Amino acid sequence: MRAPAAILTLLLAAAPALAGAETQAGAGLAGALPDVQTPEGVSTILQWVLIVTVLSVAPAIVLMVTCFTRIIVVLGLLRQALATQQLPPNSVLFALAVLMTLVVMAPVYADVYGQAVGPYLRGQIPRARALEAADGRVRGFMIDQIERAGNARDVYLFLPGEQAGKPDLQWAQVPTLSLIPAYAVSELKVAFFMGFQFYLPFVVIDMLVAAVLVSMGMLMLPPVLISLPFKLLLFVLADGWHRVVGTLMQSFS
């Protein structure tokens, strides 16, 4: 019983010191934070909130202005067409899409670094000019892909009211905030069209297998169980991965 009593005595003796340390820590933390009762303090807090918000959505925005959307949607539709459940896994498809995106976007990244990032880091151009150069190169890629797909009219969906009615609108007059969602919609259109082309042969196999099973009276046997080996065999014999990846890469050239 002496040990618990001794421990209790030590805690009671150390309580004032601990309370003083907590008070000092709270005072130091309060001193480090900006004063929310002044306009400057409120402005500083709002700037930090804005920075954290931008950093949290920055990866998604970066992926939206690249070819990642088209690639990942086509690969996802291909996996559904094969009916292989979770094979390949999501991590494999995501990694493959990211690597293909890096390969396709390599010229754009090189131009952005050469025209904007590199000169800015060396102090040759100001930050505003660097952002303008980087934005112009990325906009050029998005505009080129929209025109190749013939989806220029999608831009009018995201233009302000006074610009949406202009029939002869030039690309220079389209703001970047309107161009990014228009590019995303265009990429989804192209991705679903390509996915349909890859999906169609496997649907034919499913229909043939289902018709054979019904004609044989084997109604209780799932057609997917029989058609899966034939779809995998067709995909392997046709060198499917090479054709799919090659078609996706060539669609951006």
pLDDT number for residue 166? 63
Does residue 68 carry a pLDDT above 80?
A: yes
Q: Could you tell me if residue 16 is inside a domain?
A: no
Q: Could you tell me if residue 57 is inside a domain?
A: no
CA distance 251 to 148: 9
Q: Could you tell me if residue 17 is inside a domain?
A: no
Please give the average per-residue pLDDT across 64-85, as a whole number: 85
pLDDT number for residue 178? 81
CA distance 138 to 212: 52
pTM for this entry = 0.70
Q: Could you tell me if residue 109 is inside a domain?
A: yes
- In terms of Cα–Cα distance, which of 133, 138, 167, 137 is closest to 152? 167
CA distance 102 to 98: 6
Tens of pLDDT, residue by residue over 141-185, are 888 888 888 888 878 877 776 655 566 667 777 787 888 888 888
**Whole domain around residue 122: which residue ranges?**
67-250
Q: Which helix (H) or strand (E) holds 121?
A: helix 118-121
pLDDT number for residue 29? 38
Domain count, the chain: 1
Does residue 245 carry a pLDDT above 70?
A: yes
